[in-house]
Amino acid sequence: MGLGRKVTTNQQPATSNVPGEAYHSGMRVALLLILALPLVAQTAFEEKVTVHYVEVPVTVLRDGNPVRGLTKENFDLSDDGRKRAVESFEAVDLAASDTAASVSPLNPAARRNFLLLFDLTYSNQTSITRAQTAARSFISRSIASRDLVSIGIVDVDRGFRFVTAFTTDREMLTSAIADPKNFRTKDPLQISGTSSLEAAPQNSAGLGDKESIALENAKDIGRQADRLDDSRSRTRVRRQVEMLSTVARSLQKLAGRKHLVLLSEGFDPRLVTGRDASETEEQNEENRALSQGEVWKVDSDKRFGSPDSMKSIDLMADTFRKADVVLHAVDIQGVRVQNDVRGGAKFNSNGGLFLLADATGGTVFRNSNDISAEFDRLTHQHEVVYILGFHAPLGRPSQFHELKVKLVNVPGARLQHRGGYYDPGGET
């Protein structure tokens, strides 16, 4: 009977519902996802390091003369204690006749910037006039055509002021230096830097009790007056040091090597470092006072030096280093003498200038009545600049990194270089 026959076919459904096949299909998908996870993680969490380019201008001197002909193999560079490979190297000789043609435009890191800073606090009017003449000569004959120069004045009573901006306009600079109202000292006789009262040394032996007591009282009054005067003088020194730090900070973003040239006679170094070793008479008197238990008669700052003043100079040096500024001092008093016909032996030192310049790695030009020649020496020392370049990882915005550069196989030479650099991103 045809109605009872079963019909079969070989066709398969489009979608299978067999449990085993669904299981194996799911396993394949899961395996593909597992294999893809490392690639996804690597793409999503890959560490990104940003670097920026740092250039380090270096000056190398031997016996006061620039050293030429060095290569990058002569320099060992470290950044925060980590050695960095010198990736680029450039030698710029500003005295060479073909400099303008071979280095055009001039690398900003090789540019020389000179701030001629006239010190109206520790200079008399005669010395300032001599310095003005030398500065005009410096501008007309010593600096290169692309050197930038600025004129400034500093006075602890009136502050610091730029007379001109940094410029290559030699006529403007010369006119600014010649302006008498800018360079008139307030205290040309330096009366404010002398002791207000001094008791004449006398021997109390042979005097009566009343006379001896009166003499000791007079000496005590003289000592107190000297202490007050020294305290005022130290305050003036610290104010000048703080002003110099302010000047350095104002130059921080200026590209190139920055030379602050302080034209000054300098302050009395004893205000900072203490008594000179040659002053044995006063030292013996203090020793006698200490042996008798009269400690109030001994001024420790005058005997051993002022810790506060030394700290202010250390802070100034750190500011100069971070701003990439070097302080050079020109002693505008000329050749110094330690005695004269009227006063006999006297203390006459430019040690205060050395305290400032040495702290920043600068040079003191001294004992010369020809200040123009001292300016020539300054520019000659910085005729050759080596520029070392490297890539550094970018840290926190405005983070300071300390740089160290050492010479390799250059015996008898010393170098000057920027003390470090700041990471970009924190500018205001």
- Per-residue pLDDT of 10-24, as tens digits, reads 444 444 444 455 544
Per-residue model confidence (pLDDT) at position 169:
92
Q: 393: which 2 tokens?
A: 């990882």
Residue 73 or residue 375, greater confidence: 73
Per-residue model confidence (pLDDT) at position 183:
80
Lowest mean pLDDT among 147-161, 262-276, 298-312, 340-354: 340-354
- Per-residue pLDDT of 268-322, as tens digits, reads 898 888 876 555 666 666 666 656 665 555 556 666 678 889 999 999 999 999 9
- Over 70: is that where the pLDDT of 335 sits? no
Q: Is the pTM of this model over 0.75?
A: no
- Residue 200 pLDDT class (50, 70, 90 cuts): very low
Beta bridge partners of residue 112, listed in sequence order: 257
Residue 339 or residue 225, greater confidence: 225
d(CA 53, CA 389): 7
Helices within 142-208 (DSSP H only): 170-178
Average pLDDT over residues 254-273: 90
- Residue 108 pLDDT class (50, 70, 90 cuts): confident
Per-residue model confidence (pLDDT) at position 345:
46
d(CA 12, CA 18): 12
d(CA 93, CA 100): 10
d(CA 42, CA 399): 30
- Residue 343 pLDDT class (50, 70, 90 cuts): very low
Task: Count other C-beta atoms under 10 Å from residue 173's C-beta.
Answer: 24
- Per-residue pLDDT of 56-78, as tens digits, reads 999 999 998 999 999 999 999 99
DSSP annotation string for 266-330: ---THHHH-S-TT-HHHHHHHHHHHHTT-GGG--HHHHH--HHHHHHHHHHHHHHHHHTEEEEEE
Lowest mean pLDDT among 61-75, 120-134, 180-194, 253-267: 180-194
Cα angle value 19/23/29 (rounded, 5°) = 145
d(CA 314, CA 317): 5
CB–CB of 250/258 below 8 Å?
no
- Over 60: is that where the pLDDT of 29 sits? no
Average pLDDT over residues 123-148: 88
Per-residue model confidence (pLDDT) at position 61:
94
d(CA 215, CA 120): 39
Per-residue model confidence (pLDDT) at position 190:
44
- Over 50: is that where the pLDDT of 41 sits? no
Q: Strand 364-365 relative to strand 344-345: parallel, antiparallel, unpaired?
A: unpaired
